[in-house]
Amino acid sequence: MLKWLVSILIVVALLGGLQPLLTRYLRLGQLPGDLRFTREGRTYHLPFTSTIVLSLLAWLILRWL
């Protein structure tokens, strides 16, 4: 259980640190299926496709550990 917790913490920290690069090269947050809409002066962002891509990336990294 502790190994999984540490692995998830490492993946989250790495993705958080690499977010600017991932956003620039993988266009996370701008993929087809990511919804962005404005209502009453507020912008809402629902990154469905980006979440799937990041989940697959995390799964691949954990498979290598």
Please compute the mean of the pLDDT values over residues 28-38 and round it to a whole number: 87
Q: Decide if 34 contacts 50 (C-beta within 8 A).
A: yes
Rounded mean pLDDT of the chain? Answer: 86
Parallel, antiparallel or unpaired: strands 34-39 and 42-47:
antiparallel
Q: Decide if 62 contacts 11 (C-beta within 8 A).
A: yes
The set of residues, in sequence order, having a beta carbon less than 8 Å from that of 42 and lying 6+ positions away, is none
Greater confidence, 38 or 30?
38
Please compute the mean of the pLDDT values over residues 13-23 and round it to a whole number: 81
**Residue 41 pLDDT grade (very low, low, confident, very high; cuts 50, 70, 90):** very high
Please compute the mean of the pLDDT values over residues 22-27 and round it to a whole number: 77
d(C-alpha 39, C-alpha 54), whole Å? 27
Helices (H) and strands (E) in the chain, counts: 3, 2
Please compute the mean of the pLDDT values over residues 24-31 and round it to a whole number: 80
